[in-house]
A and B are shown apart, each in its own frame.
Chain A
Amino acid sequence: NAGVTQTPKFRVLKTGQSMTLLCAQDMNHEYMYWYRQDPGMGLRLIHYSVGEGTTAKGEVPDGYNVSRLKKQNFLLGLESAAPSQTSVYFCASSYSTGAPLDTQYFGPGTRLTVL
């Protein structure tokens, strides 16, 4: 049981390049989330998904796209990277059906630098 895994762990991009971050969870969770973490700004929600095939915008969605084609995977895409997207990205998942509370389980993070 690996929990939540993220690929890659580190990446350096040039401005304008594109990339996809992959999040996978093996806990059969319904909900998945993408956050970014920046110094002094805490965690900010980018996009989230409440089930396979559904996505929704979070607090800071501009410049990012997501897809949830399979229940266990949640992809975060940057179509044209900008230096402002330099950050540490965290994926999280939680289970909802029948449960009164969603405890979020986090991946180890992806450190992205955009030059």
Chain B
Amino acid sequence: AQSVTQLDSQVPVFEEAPVELRCNYSSSVSVYLFWYVQYPNQGLQLLLKYLSGSTLVKGINGFEAEFNKSQTSFHLRKPSVHISDTAEYFCAVSNAGNNRKLIWGLGTSLAVNP
């Protein structure tokens, strides 16, 4: 069975500082990996995804993530955050052979302070 662990439930950071949100997964098969963002009182939207190929994936709003198969991780990074990045971030995994359903992490709340 697949599972996703987001290692930090809350991450406070100052504006313009770098940030890393950590995600580990477990799976016995090939996977697709995703990061979604949820701004306050809104639905989720896709930040970036890893299907295959280059392990460094770039997404919207200056975010990027690196797939590390040996460590089964997919950490999200941004070199300089803005107040507007304050949101809930979700990591998710799907079975590459049957990607009808996503397995979700519990989320990481990013709070960017001035």
Contacts and interface: CB of A to CB of B under 8 A. Distances in A.
A42 B90 contact: yes
Contacts of B46: 103-105
A31 B44 CA distance: 17
Contact of A106 (B44, B51, B94, B99): B44
Q: Which of B49, B94, B102 has the most chain A CB atoms inside 10 A of its CB?
A: B102
A102 B104 contact: no
Contact of A102 (B9, B90, B99, B105): B99
A5 B58 CA distance: 28
Interface in B91-114: 94, 99-102, 104-107
A40 interface: yes
Interface residues of A, number: 25
Interface string A20-51: 00000000000101000000111111001010
Contacts of A48: 100-101
A103 B49 contact: yes
Contacts of A96: 100
Contacts of A50: 100
Interface of A: 4, 31, 33, 40-45, 48, 50, 58, 90, 92, 96, 100-109
Interface of B: 9, 32, 34, 41-46, 49, 51, 90, 94, 99-102, 104-107
